[in-house]
Structure 1
């Protein structure tokens, strides 16, 4: 959604990207079209994406877990990996599980440790600073809007450098969530620390009626960004590190938004790497 000329240019760029990537049904809407679909929204242009939708993240995780279990996977919680040693025939993984030390042997390791993926990469001797694998914590807070929802669809402003901007998301409970914002932090915390004033100021330019609603803190998350403060965009790292002497070690680093949306496709891609490059 665009509210000025610069944002319209950004929208046109995103439209081209969407078409190149095969997203079907995309349309540019003008102010009249926008008002017909979302009367409370104020914008000059918008990209309408009819194939965009929402899911319940918890239920999606439950589905992934059930499918993985049916395929023979075992999920081990309350477990920390503390060391990985490269062996001639694979890897020795050591750690602590439920207070007990353990050591296991692995032919293949897929490092998808999220906020700690750089630490896991460092355990096998990779220079995370030199390779650009260092994770920077970038926090995002959410607020929930109380009362009758002022929108029916997902409403996104033009994206910002650190993320998608504070957007409006109707969820499956029938209420609307605002967020996330984006700011770098030194440690991981899931407490909402932003004030609602920032959210109102940001959203007011495209949803003036925000001042008629009460906002309440909802939840917070932390993105594992590869770019630090002041740096340009850096994409996901998905790489088999065989060329660095680590055959069978696959890194997934910096998988932030839209990592959840892309999870099935990422899983297929990693599976293809395993089948074509590692499986004996």
Structure 2
């Protein structure tokens, strides 16, 4: 059996950030990823938005790690030459009934430390975006967009330069945890199996994190969260959009509503909606018929959206740990009674923005576990 210091399971943006910070701290790191390339699930199927941190409950991990991660991410983009743009976004109320919700978001933003978020009248918002229709708005200047693939490549490069090794197309199929460490059985794409014993295992498997934890004997099963999957569909715009900022409606249950985002080339896309998946079946197909609802929601803030302008683009799935009829759960970091294991669960939005701060939080938790051992 081969022995290693740290195994990070999952090479999405959070796993890459965790591997980077552990390797740069001098630890021996092996990253095990079931796909043949990095970032092939949630990390590459999102809006590529750098969130400001305005929505999340004050004091929550999502709020704290988003704000810290946002600042760290902008600095990292500058340092590493990663393409990004701090374009800002408008959160818009399209009816008088939504004014109170907008005011609550404004108060939440300031409570979370986002004092730069300002309230705008309809006239002020329309000066910024003449094609917009609203009764009031908030402006978040620290919201931006990023090339997520370039970001993940930079994280991978930093990790490898610090000595981290990557085992792609390799899947954890079993494991056991005890007081001395964690043993994992890893199967490669060609069917070969290898047993690894690690002093530290960090489960960053995203959508599969709870299922993977359940495969490791010796962890307290009752504390492993139940996974729920919420699909988000995206549509692209066939013609240029008359917007230079991101446009978000007042949030809906389960997500932030069908919003308009821009890529770094100026191409507009709309989404995600919220489609809860049954029986854990993950399907990335975008049903063209769902566009009917998109047209209705988008025209609430952009009445001039042309007919037949939307085309199916892609879909992503949020790794949730609370069902559709419950309040959104916070990020969860859990050891399940074993100080050599740390599982990351429910790392949905703002996980991309918060990844660098999440990695620092993981290191702090591991150091605390080490002191307690």
Give TM-score, length-normalised by structure 2: 0.70
* Aligned position for 1:152: 244
The answer as to 2:64 corresponding to 1:64 is: no
Offset, 1:171: 0.8
Offset, 1:64: 1.3
Q: How does 1:129-278 map to 2 (within 5 A)?
A: 130-131=222-223, 133-186=225-278, 187-195=281-289, 196-211=291-306, 214-239=309-334, 241=335, 244-278=336-370
Change over 3 Å in CA distance of 1:158–1:132 after alignment to 2? farther
Offset, 1:65: 0.9
Please list every run of 5 or more consecutive structure 2 residues that lacks an aligned counterpart in the other structure. Answer: 1-91
What SS does structure 2 have at the residue aligned with 1:208? coil
Q: Is the 8 A contact 1:188 1:222 kept in 2?
A: yes
**Could you say which structure has the greater relative contact order, defined with CA pairs below 8 angstroms and 6 or more residues apart?**
2
Offset, 1:189: 1.6
Q: Is the 8 A contact 2:93 2:99 kept in 1?
A: yes
What SS does structure 2 have at the residue aligned with 1:152? coil
CA distance in 2, matches of 1:16, 1:123: 43
Change over 3 Å in CA distance of 1:57–1:227 after alignment to 2? same
* Aligned position for 2:206: 114
CA RMSD of aligned residues (A): 1.8
CA distance in 1, matches of 2:264, 2:320: 28
CA distance in 2, matches of 1:132, 1:159: 29
What SS does structure 2 have at the residue aligned with 1:211? coil
What SS does structure 2 have at the residue aligned with 1:238? strand
Give TM-score, length-normalised by structure 1: 0.93
Please list every run of 5 or more consecutive structure 1 residues that lacks an aligned counterpart in the other structure. Answer: none
Q: Is the 8 A contact 2:220 2:337 kept in 1?
A: no
Q: Deviations over 1:158-199 (max 9, x none)?
A: 111110111000111221010111111131122212522121
Q: Is the 8 A contact 2:210 2:224 kept in 1?
A: no
* Aligned position for 1:19: 110
What SS does structure 1 have at the residue aligned with 2:153? helix
What SS does structure 1 have at the residue aligned with 2:159? helix
Offset, 1:257: 1.1
Q: Is the 8 A contact 1:132 1:226 kept in 2?
A: no
What SS does structure 1 have at the residue aligned with 2:304? helix
Offset, 1:211: 2.6
CA distance in 2, matches of 1:277, 1:87: 14
Offset, 1:150: 1.9
Offset, 1:276: 3.3
CA distance in 1, matches of 2:288, 2:192: 39
| Aligned pair partner of 1:103 in 183, 195, 201 | 195
Q: Is the 8 A contact 1:81 1:96 kept in 2?
A: yes
The answer as to 2:183 corresponding to 1:92 is: yes
Offset, 1:149: 1.4
